[in-house]
Amino acid sequence: MKKLWEKGINTAKSVVEFTTSTDRIFDTRLAPYDVLGSIAHARMLYDIGILKSTEVNSLEKALGKIMKQIMAGSFEIEEGVEDVHSQIEIMLTREIGEVGKKLHTGRSRNDQILVDLKLFTREALKNTVAHTHKLFKVLIELSNTHKDILMPGYTHMQVAMPSSFGLWFGAFAESLVDDMLLLLTAYRINDQNPLGSAAGYGSSFPLNRRLTTQLLGFDNLQVNVAYAQLSRTKNERTIAFALASVANTLSRLSMDVCQFSGQNYNFFSLPDEYTTGSSIMPHKKNPDAFELIRARCNKLLALPNEISLIATNLPSGYNRDYQLTKQSFMTAFDDVNECIVMTTTLMENLKVNPTVINDKIYDAIFSVEEVNKLVLEGIPFRDAYKMVAKEIQNGTYKPNRNIEHKHEGSIGNLCNEMIVQKLDAILSQFNFMKSEVALNNLLVW
């Protein structure tokens, strides 16, 4: 199969195989976005007089036919074809002849892959946001449901102060709010149109880049054509940081559940159907799903560094090194979304132990309350601290389990409605509808 760039010299098969590797597999996932970018580019070429109305109509119908194959799952990149861009151009030429060759006017595979990845990422981030929002709502509901049930709080893995299940669930809910803010930032940085940057130096054709920005539903134009190429790994790294932030929240939540569901703690439990067993120990109920969430999310934490190292000290302009980020970057969305969905399911079935705080081993966590009580009676804090410490040492300390925490965000005043408001304010800024409407309009002719 001839390459789009061939000039009559056959490239060694070993070089072709090495440079394409598994890239064609991931390019198949980009096929619908390549079609959408091609339709927008065709309409722009018609707008500036490069294509005739009959030609753009032929192109759109042929691209629509390819899109139907993609949606039906029958699209594939043929043996010997380098990438999705080449495959679609070959299919167009077979379908409509010479007109199919005109579509590449004013663009390069370099800006095509940039557009494809940005459109893919925009859709993938939308899914991640939806999954994260659902988990958030489950955590907030659990926090409100269990707000009055105390649980031990730990520092240095030692019993520390009274906490509550409401506080614990709410903490991870608010962590997701900050994660969502990073997702919003990543979404905005990604939502800029690079089409028309060609190989990174623009084109002598009078391209209307504002038009393709509008047609593809991008929020803004990536103006400088050289920066469009420079931004590729920067864009992916920024998004990877946002995904890693979500992963970090899930990983820490999973670690807590794994630890606190053990017999030594007994704070949480899962129904038998959400645990696994041992081949030799009949009593075992292992939280394997949470352990794998922890591991998979910890692996995602390495992604920003992986992308950074691949891009370190690369010169400006396109470099084939960029290809190596595609697999890790694209599959990261699969990993994080699967982990979010599984965490949501597990949290919906997690049971709390409402009497755990009654165990005598947690008596000491109420000591701070005794110190504060003495302070309110007029005793300086350092003196009150020493008085209670002495009682603990000589065995005369007796806990008062009636506590009152009233300030914002404490176990007695969770202020979950404020956390919900923060998330709602972030969600309102994504403006998913704009891109959805634009892409749907591209498929109408």
Q: Rounded to whole angstroms, how far apart are CA atoms 225 and 222? A: 7
Task: Provide the pLDDT for residue 283.
Answer: 81
Domain residues of the chain, as ranges?
Answer: 13-102, 109-358+415-442
Task: Provide the pLDDT for residue 22.
Answer: 67
Domain at 109-358+415-442: CATH architecture: Up-down Bundle (1.20)
Q: Rounded to whole angstroms, how far apart are CA atoms 162 and 356? A: 12
* pLDDT interval class at 42 (50, 70, 90): very high
* pLDDT interval class at 308 (50, 70, 90): very high
CATH number of 13-102: 1.10.275.10
DSSP states of 195-207 as a string? TT-TTTT--SS--
In tens, the pLDDT along 188-198 reads 999 999 999 99
**Which residue do the tokens 């597999």 mark?**
25
Mean pLDDT for the chain overall? 92
What average pLDDT score do residues 23-48 get? 93
pTM confidence score? 0.91
What average pLDDT score do residues 225-244 get? 95
In order of 5, 56, 384, the CA distances from 70 in angstroms are 25, 21, 72
Asked whether the domain spanning 109-358+415-442 has the same topology as the one spanning 13-102, the reply is no
Task: Provide the pLDDT for residue 79.
Answer: 86
Residue 119 exposure: Cα atoms within 13 Å on the Cβ side: 28
In tens, the pLDDT along 249-268 reads 999 999 999 999 998 999 99
Q: Rounded to whole angstroms, how far apart are CA atoms 335 and 357? A: 36
Least confident stretch, 161-165, 308-312, 321-325: 321-325
DSSP states of 168-234 as a string? HHHHHHHHHHHHHHHHHHHHHHH-EE-TT-TTTT--SS---HHHHHHHTT-SEE---HHHHHHHHHH
In tens, the pLDDT along 366-397 reads 999 999 999 999 999 999 999 999 999 999 99
Chain centroid to CA 155: how far? 30
Closest CA to 191 of 245, 129, 131: 129
In tens, the pLDDT along 110-153 reads 999 999 999 999 999 999 999 999 999 999 999 999 999 999 99
**And the tokens for 289?**
């799903």
What average pLDDT score do residues 276-304 get? 89
* pLDDT interval class at 5 (50, 70, 90): very low
Length of the chain: 445
In order of 195, 218, 240, 427, the CA distances from 431 in angstroms are 21, 11, 21, 8
Find the largest Cα–Cα distance for the chain.
95
Task: Provide the pLDDT for residue 275.
Answer: 81
Least confident stretch, 95-99, 194-198, 223-227, 369-373: 369-373
Q: Rounded to whole angstroms, how far apart are CA atoms 21 and 7? A: 22
